[in-house]
A and B are shown apart, each in its own frame.
Chain A
Amino acid sequence: MASSSASLKRREQPMSREGDQLIVTPLGAGNEVGRSCVYMSFRGKTILFDCGINPAYSGMAALPYFDEIDPSTIDVLLITHFHLDHAASLPYFLEKTTFKGRVFMTHATKAIYKLLLTDYVKVSKVSVEDMLFDEHDINKSMDKIEVIDFHQTVEVNGIKFWCYTAGHVLGAAMFMVDIAGVRILYTGDYSREEDRHLRAAELPQFSPDICIIESTSGVQLHQSRHIREKRFTDVIHSTVAQGGRVLIPAFALGRAQELLLILDEYWANHPDLHNIPIYYASPLAKKCMAVYQTYILSMNDRIRNQFANSNPFVFKHISALNSIDDFRDVGPCVVMASPGGLQSGFSRQLFDIWCSDKRNACIIPGYMVEGTLAKTIINEPKEVTLMNGLTAPLNMQVHYISFSAHADYAQTSTFLKELMPPNIILVHGEANEMMRLKQKLFTEFPDGNTRIMNPKNCESVELYFNSEKMAKTIGRLAEKTPDVGDSVSGILVKKGFTYQIMAPDDLHVFSQLSTATVTQRITIPFSGAFGVITHRLGKIFESVDSSTDEETGLPALKVHERVTVKQESEKHISLQWSSDPISDMVSDSIVALVLNISREVPKIIVEEEVAVKSEEENGKKVEKVIYALLVSLFGDVKLGENGKLVISVDGNVAHLDKETGKVEGEHEGLKERVRVAFHRIQSAVKPIPLSAE
């Protein structure tokens, strides 16, 4: 399974006998969460899924292992959704590497991508010196990104792909890729549960051959949406009722909108809470509202129907905060602030202020990346380190209520059972969680027909797919269906991964190509008698038909039914023929002959004896040439008994009968090669058969 990573760069892989090799290599998100990036290559086509960063690191360390691949070979890059761990290294990849393929994402993803990354650049400027990219790069990348609508099929270089709704966040997609009939599904982050505004992930119509699936939740089971919403609102209600403050550190986009919808509705139903303010402290979320208000069609029916009355994303009880300076901390309130991991920024500033008061509460609503403060406080340590380096007691209540829109175990296993992919590749999950999931999935698919893999970063999964190439014979060539043993000859046209065989005359009918005939006509000065030419040609060529040109009444000759020699005038003759290699050669020799006559070179007297002798000589020469050519091809060639040639390569021996061209030997491959070589040598050395029917 594992292969040296360097081999990825070499595109010329030895062909396996079982079929064509398909390689899947996670460049990020292999046994980890964050910096999703999965490389895939099959039959010379290369695809990269997602292009994220690891939010826990900064600078180059946050990037996926791009050095492992040659970016210039990638045909298509597909981005599933706008989250930083799926899309944030895109500007870097587009602007700072040799990548020259095409990039696709959905409309909503593209609209939010720009806002999100611009914000990311601004925020990280504070803490990071080595910027991966700047705003300019983001704007430039926007021009290169193409959009794809759900279910729309796009074809690039023979790679067909389309996407399905993935739930998770607005615009999130699962990509199905079809290369030469082999289908690969990459789920990205997905959720099979419908929530307040998003649809559940769709079940693809076709079962894929490989399913690259996220495993964030591992074997966990989510509480039902109803219960966790109640827990969420209960905690908030009781905290503010006791005069406490509630901090909800949440990533600005995605889950935050869902939580705001819940809060707004809860407040609307509880008039006693109306005097307690709710803030969302994210200018970014505010900016993205326009996007949420526009791509209503990507959301579920519930929102679409609400939209009929009023826009559900225009909140009545929630106000926006631009910075901590606008915030007056005077009493109970609910604040939703980013970042979700409490690394820095507004959420961290509030946390530092509020963490030592036991009336306050902090609700962590989603997945926490390893190494962030949010992950630390979930274990309820006694003390925490503040941003200024001091330590403070952690007295505030910490609640973890997962609103994470990642599929849980129940969803994952039913999803996989419906699809029944023969190969499952787990990505985007913590190593331990992933291992547990893998074990549990093994018990779900005990028949042994399903392979489940969880490659580490840069570890390649190699799969082999039967490369059964099918062709369609069409047009005149297909008028009669051939039986076994009949021959089929025609032009094979390959477009993408489809093959068609057709007669040359049909080429223009079934493809955009066309055939051509080139007629050549040259005139040669010749002032002698035409009869001389007739005589000379007759001596050299086997078939010379003389006739008279109908228009001019002058004599004409047709040599081998290919080249017409005509007397144009007293001083010129003309040659006319239709181009192909043999006719060109015949005409060249006629030209030479005619020129020779003009030069009055003494006649060559052909003697019968000489002819016989030369035939023998020729025979010897031919043998010599064949021998020399075989030596140059195979090296060790000896003359064996009965005039057979003994060819030995790497200990394999083949006997070649020069007369019949039959080859005997143990090794099939060598036999075949010798046979083909001899066939070619023979056709080069022996006279060309002139009739080409």
Chain B
Amino acid sequence: MGTSVQVSPLCGVYNENPLSYLVSIDGFNFLLDCGWNDLFDPSLLEPLSRVASTVDAVLLSHPDTLHLGALPYAMKQLGLSAPVYATEPVHRLGLLTMYDQYLSRKQVSDFDLFTLDDIDSAFQNVIRLTFSQNYHLSGKGEGIVIAPHVAGHMLGGSIWKITKDGEEVVYAVDYNHRKERHLNGTVLQSFVRPAVLITDAYNALYTNQTQSHHRDTEFLDTISKHLEVGGNVLLPVDTAGRVLELLLILEQHWSQRAFSFPIYFLTYVSSSTIDYVKSFLEWMSDSISKSFETSRDNAFLLRHVTLLINKTDLDNAPPGPKVVLASMASLEAGFARDIFVEWANDPRNLVLFTETGQFGTLARMLQSAPPPKFVKVTMSKRVPLAGEELIAYEEEQNRLKREEALRASLVKEEETKASHGPDENSSEPMVVDTKTTHDVVGSHGPAYKDILIDGFVPPSSSAAPMFPFYDNTADWDEYGEVINPDDYVIKDEDMDRGAMHAGGDVDGRLDEATASLMLDTRPSKVISNELIVTVSCSLVKMDYEGRSDGRSIKSTIAHVSPLKLVLVHATAEATEHLKQHSLNSICPHVYAPKIEETVDVTSDLCAYKVQLSEKLMSNVIFKKLGDSEVAWVDSEVGKTGSEMRCLQPMGSAAAPHKPVLVGDLKMQDFKQFLSSKGVQVEFAGGGALRCGEYVTLRKVGPTGQKGGASGPQQILIEGPLCEDYYKIRDYLYSQFYLL
């Protein structure tokens, strides 16, 4: 009857591994997120590799490695070729995140899982949507509508709603119900009773989230305390996600306090990141867009933050205490790792973690309690080749080149022989002085040959090396040269072409330095050495992850109260905890599948469509209740011309039905209502409400749940025969609609 829905996790269940889930809706396979971790372990992607080619669409939710890191690799190596859907910021910032990851990796290792070109081509075909845009899929997915909605957590971060035939599947991971400086809170609460909710239990056990302004004060105090004693502060951050919030906090605080300590934001793509973020105002919080609308203040015109894209700039910066935000948050690679190693042994310095490090990374190790005194770090560095090595390399390259050329020349020879065969006669007269030419070749030796070989290979038939000359023969007819009218058409696009190509190659905006870094092909090698780093600097961790905490997760899920719930992405304990909690009080169908375990969450809902005849509707009197209207209908299925069933009024008197009281009684509200009517009312023990002198009112059966997922409310009113009794009963009735 209903739409068939299957969920099978590919990665990231019962642990904190990256997220990647396969959801199949009536045979149409969605890949929800395509994440990887900072260790880039290909074994994590094995389940994905088995299904990659069957995926029909990819939905991305956040612009960080955990949510989209594997996209380039999967597209290149695993045969993933489905269209990708994401919001504009997720697309842009995700791209920059991947650039940063690649460049950081490339600096310290012979990273070859994917290249910049792979990143570009993976992101080239992303279909960009705006929040609440209902995108109708076509082709195989006909009838499916997807829509991203605000998730909080990161700029552009989305929860996805997939709808087919009125049945909703909601995928919501890493959402944040709280409004932040640059982001609005999630709109997840506005979804009611979806058929399936796929959500994470990541923070299910984590509840002690401090109030945000307390946390901010503490955060800023900690930083300024260290700065004032002359220490440096390092914040390992992600490339383009949560760091934006931190930048805003620091920026605001610095302008309020007029601090002179410099703040540096150091990633390989920092300036591009901020340039893009400046044009993403419509994706940010209401207060940011409002301030722009009224005073044209772009919140990301950072006055106190210096954007750096290489470490030398930081080294050249004036000495003295400073705050540096550098990627990667895991300290596994990137500038943050280098800086950490440099600064770790000075007790005045501070390393401030704003999120829990990924499992098995240096950051996670440092966050353990008590923090380790020493850490063993393998530092790798890419150095340009020099001296003998360079010579050896060049020779090697030359040899390769020569070999290639030789091969090419052999091939070319064949070709030229074939194509230029008949022309040989015409080229004959050009051989002027065979001997001299030969001498030239001979005397100049290999160098000369190199130049020639690089561009072309002279036809072996020619006496001397010369550039190929092709006679441009024009066609003639009796009116003269044949004209191709297309050559004379003014092409509008031509005017734009120049500009189009200016940015062209590296898809998107990247400043020249970064670009040159990317295109740097100087011979280099990676050298590594192991260091023992003494950790004497302060290590502090504060929660700026921007995720809802356990309590809010529970209340959000309870409010959404899905018919079926699928839990993913959390430690085994957290998953189990939330599963039990949900089973007890939210809904009876909770699933927590293991990797590659397929759960069928097809709703057992029966439904059919009917047409409501005008005759029937004119006799229906609706009663308004909240934002919906209800009425009782007694009807008969009648015939219509089409295949539709049509409901018509009953021909005969309808059998009386059992009356239904519709409404949601909240004891607290009812108490106020009664006291407003002049009834003396108070709560007695056990949730009972004493009204007047004798009458008591209580809810019996399972209580305390929102949405009444477990069934109708049971209310018991008791008292002696007296006037009050009937009065209170009337008041009680007034809270309900009788149908």
Q: A residues bordering B, Cβ < 8 Å?
A: 107, 110-111, 114, 139, 142, 147, 149-154, 162, 205, 224-226, 287, 290-291, 294-297, 301-302, 304-309, 467-476, 478-479, 481-495, 499, 501, 504-505, 507-525, 579-581, 591, 676, 679, 683, 689, 692-693
- Shortest distance in angstroms between B300's beta carbon and chain A's nearest beta carbon? 10
Q: Indicate whether A225 sits within 8 Å of B492 (C-beta atoms), given known contacts A478-B606, A514-B663, A515-B662.
A: yes
Q: Name the one of B628, B653, B708 contacting A514, with C-beta atoms under 8 angstroms.
A: B708
A sample of 11 more A-B contacts (CB under 8 A), given A152-B130, A508-B712, is A297-B282, A304-B503, A305-B502, A308-B502, A471-B612, A484-B645, A488-B610, A492-B633, A514-B708, A519-B716, A524-B720
Q: How many angstroms between the C-alpha atoms of A692 and B658 in the bound complex?
A: 7
Q: Are B620 and A492 in contact (CB under 8 A)?
A: yes
Count of residues in B whose CB is under 8 Å from the partner chain:
103
Q: Are A487 and B636 in contact (CB under 8 A)?
A: yes
What would 26 A/B residue contacts be, using CB atoms closer than 8 Å?
Answer: A111-B292, A149-B130, A296-B279, A302-B500, A305-B499, A471-B612, A473-B607, A484-B638, A486-B637, A488-B635, A491-B631, A491-B633, A491-B739, A492-B632, A494-B630, A501-B610, A507-B660, A508-B711, A512-B628, A514-B663, A515-B661, A518-B715, A518-B717, A521-B716, A524-B721, A692-B658
In the complex formed, the residue of B with least CB distance to A583 is B659
Q: Are B712 and A514 in contact (CB under 8 A)?
A: yes
Q: Are B661 and A107 in contact (CB under 8 A)?
A: no
Q: Are A508 and B709 in contact (CB under 8 A)?
A: yes
Q: Indicate whether A295 sits within 8 Å of B279 (C-beta atoms), given known contacts A152-B131, A226-B492, A488-B633.
A: yes
Q: Are B607 and A474 in contact (CB under 8 A)?
A: yes
Q: How many angstroms between the C-alpha atoms of A359 and B203 in the bound complex?
A: 76
Q: Name the one of A114, A475, A525 contacting B294, with C-beta atoms under 8 angstroms.
A: A114
Most B C-beta atoms less than 10 A away, residue of A287, A296, A514: A514
B636 partner residues in chain A, CB cutoff 8 A? 485-488
Q: How many angstroms between the C-alpha atoms of A487 and B616 in the bound complex?
A: 13
In the complex formed, the residue of B with least CB distance to A692 is B656
Q: B residues bordering A, Cβ < 8 Å?
A: 88, 129-134, 136, 147, 166, 192-193, 278-282, 289-290, 292-294, 296, 298, 490, 492, 495-496, 499-500, 502-504, 508-510, 563, 605-612, 614, 617, 619-620, 622, 625-639, 645, 647, 650, 653-665, 700, 707-709, 711-721, 725, 729, 732-733, 736, 738-739
Q: Name the one of B563, B632, B645, B656 contacting A491, with C-beta atoms under 8 angstroms.
A: B632
Q: How many angstroms between the C-alpha atoms of A522 and B289 in the bound complex?
A: 61
Q: Are B647 and A472 in contact (CB under 8 A)?
A: no
Q: Are B718 and A520 in contact (CB under 8 A)?
A: yes
- Shortest distance in angstroms between A403's beta carbon and chain B's nearest beta carbon? 15
B88 partner residues in chain A, CB cutoff 8 A? 297
B664 partner residues in chain A, CB cutoff 8 A? 513-514, 516
Q: Are B503 and A507 in contact (CB under 8 A)?
A: no
In the complex formed, the residue of A with least CB distance to B605 is A474
Q: How many angstroms between the C-alpha atoms of A520 and B736 in the bound complex?
A: 15
A297 partner residues in chain B, CB cutoff 8 A? 88, 279-280, 282
Q: Are B502 and A515 in contact (CB under 8 A)?
A: no
- Shortest distance in angstroms between B609's beta carbon and chain A's nearest beta carbon? 5
B653 partner residues in chain A, CB cutoff 8 A? 679, 683
Q: Is the interface of A mostly helix, strand, loop or mixed?
A: mixed
B490 partner residues in chain A, CB cutoff 8 A? 226
Q: Are A495 and B628 in contact (CB under 8 A)?
A: yes
Q: Are B628 and A493 in contact (CB under 8 A)?
A: yes
Q: How many angstroms between the C-alpha atoms of A290 and B281 in the bound complex?
A: 12
Q: Is the interface of B mostly helix, strand, loop or mixed?
A: mixed
B662 partner residues in chain A, CB cutoff 8 A? 491, 504, 507, 513-516
In the complex formed, the residue of A with least CB distance to B132 is A152
Q: Are A469 and B719 in contact (CB under 8 A)?
A: no
- Shortest distance in angstroms between A391's beta carbon and chain B's nearest beta carbon? 43
B661 partner residues in chain A, CB cutoff 8 A? 515-518, 579
Q: Are A512 and B293 in contact (CB under 8 A)?
A: no
Q: Indicate whether A517 sits within 8 Å of B715 (C-beta atoms), given known contacts A107-B281, A152-B132, A494-B630.
A: yes
Q: How many angstroms between the C-alpha atoms of A164 and B654 in the bound complex?
A: 50
In the complex formed, the residue of A with least CB distance to B614 is A467
B280 partner residues in chain A, CB cutoff 8 A? 297
A510 partner residues in chain B, CB cutoff 8 A? 193
Q: Name the one of A153, A491, A508, A509 contacting B630, with C-beta atoms under 8 angstroms.
A: A491
A295 partner residues in chain B, CB cutoff 8 A? 279, 281-282
Q: Are B716 and A308 in contact (CB under 8 A)?
A: no
In the complex formed, the residue of B with least CB distance to A478 is B606
Q: How many angstroms between the C-alpha atoms of A679 and B656 in the bound complex?
A: 13
Q: Are B298 and A290 in contact (CB under 8 A)?
A: yes
- Shortest distance in angstroms between A118's beta carbon and chain B's nearest beta carbon? 11
Q: Indicate whether A151 sits within 8 Å of B130 (C-beta atoms), given known contacts A114-B293, A309-B502.
A: yes
- Shortest distance in angstroms between B643's beta carbon and chain A's nearest beta carbon? 12
Q: Indicate whether A154 sits within 8 Å of B132 (C-beta atoms), given known contacts A306-B499, A501-B633, A522-B721.
A: yes
- Shortest distance in angstroms between B466's beta carbon and chain A's nearest beta carbon? 38
Q: Are A487 and B634 in contact (CB under 8 A)?
A: yes
- Shortest distance in angstroms between B399's beta carbon and chain A's nearest beta carbon? 39
In the complex formed, the residue of A with least CB distance to B663 is A516
Most B C-beta atoms less than 10 A away, residue of A309, A492, A521, A683: A492
- Shortest distance in angstroms between B736's beta carbon and chain A's nearest beta carbon? 6
Q: Are B610 and A473 in contact (CB under 8 A)?
A: yes
Q: Indicate whether A519 sits within 8 Å of B714 (C-beta atoms), given known contacts A287-B296, A488-B636, A693-B655.
A: yes
Q: Are B193 and A487 in contact (CB under 8 A)?
A: no
Q: Name the one of A494, A501, A520 contacting B729, with C-beta atoms under 8 angstroms.
A: A520
- Shortest distance in angstroms between B485's beta carbon and chain A's nearest beta carbon? 17
Most B C-beta atoms less than 10 A away, residue of A308, A473, A504: A308
B133 partner residues in chain A, CB cutoff 8 A? 149, 151-153, 162
List of 9 A-B pairs having minimum Cβ-Cβ separation, nearest first: A308-B503, A305-B503, A514-B708, A151-B133, A308-B509, A521-B718, A478-B606, A580-B659, A495-B628
Q: Indicate whether A522 sits within 8 Å of B720 (C-beta atoms), given known contacts A581-B659, A692-B656.
A: yes
In the complex formed, the residue of A with least CB distance to B282 is A107
Q: Are B625 and A142 in contact (CB under 8 A)?
A: no
Q: Name the one of B500, B654, B707, B714 contacting A512, with C-beta atoms under 8 angstroms.
A: B707
A139 partner residues in chain B, CB cutoff 8 A? 294
Q: Are B712 and A517 in contact (CB under 8 A)?
A: yes
In the complex formed, the residue of B with least CB distance to A309 is B502
In the complex formed, the residue of B with least CB distance to A307 is B509
In the complex formed, the residue of B with least CB distance to A584 is B729
Q: How many angstroms between the C-alpha atoms of A609 and B508 in the bound complex?
A: 102
Q: Indicate whether A153 sits within 8 Å of B725 (C-beta atoms), given known contacts A475-B606, A504-B660, A521-B716.
A: no
Q: How many angstroms between the C-alpha atoms of A591 and B722 in the bound complex?
A: 11
- Shortest distance in angstroms between A592's beta carbon and chain B's nearest beta carbon? 11
B629 partner residues in chain A, CB cutoff 8 A? 493-495
Q: How many angstroms between the C-alpha atoms of A674 and B294 in the bound complex?
A: 64
- Shortest distance in angstroms between A263's beta carbon and chain B's nearest beta carbon? 15
Q: How many angstroms between the C-alpha atoms of A512 and B657 in the bound complex?
A: 22
Q: Name the one of B492, B639, B714 contacting A517, with C-beta atoms under 8 angstroms.
A: B714
B725 partner residues in chain A, CB cutoff 8 A? 522
Q: Indicate whether A591 sits within 8 Å of B718 (C-beta atoms), given known contacts A471-B647, A490-B633.
A: no
B606 partner residues in chain A, CB cutoff 8 A? 474-476, 478-479
B736 partner residues in chain A, CB cutoff 8 A? 516, 518
Q: How many angstroms between the C-alpha atoms of A467 and B500 in the bound complex?
A: 50
In the complex formed, the residue of B with least CB distance to A579 is B661
B614 partner residues in chain A, CB cutoff 8 A? 467
Q: Are B660 and A515 in contact (CB under 8 A)?
A: yes
Q: Are A485 and B721 in contact (CB under 8 A)?
A: no
- Shortest distance in angstroms between A87's beta carbon and chain B's nearest beta carbon? 14
Q: Are B496 and A302 in contact (CB under 8 A)?
A: yes
Q: Are B298 and A469 in contact (CB under 8 A)?
A: no
Q: How many angstroms between the C-alpha atoms of A470 and B664 in the bound complex?
A: 27
Q: How many angstroms between the C-alpha atoms of A510 and B605 in the bound complex?
A: 10
Q: How many angstroms between the C-alpha atoms of A505 and B711 in the bound complex?
A: 7
B625 partner residues in chain A, CB cutoff 8 A? 513
B647 partner residues in chain A, CB cutoff 8 A? 471, 488
Q: Are B630 and A513 in contact (CB under 8 A)?
A: yes
Q: Are A469 and B132 in contact (CB under 8 A)?
A: no
Q: Are A226 and B712 in contact (CB under 8 A)?
A: no
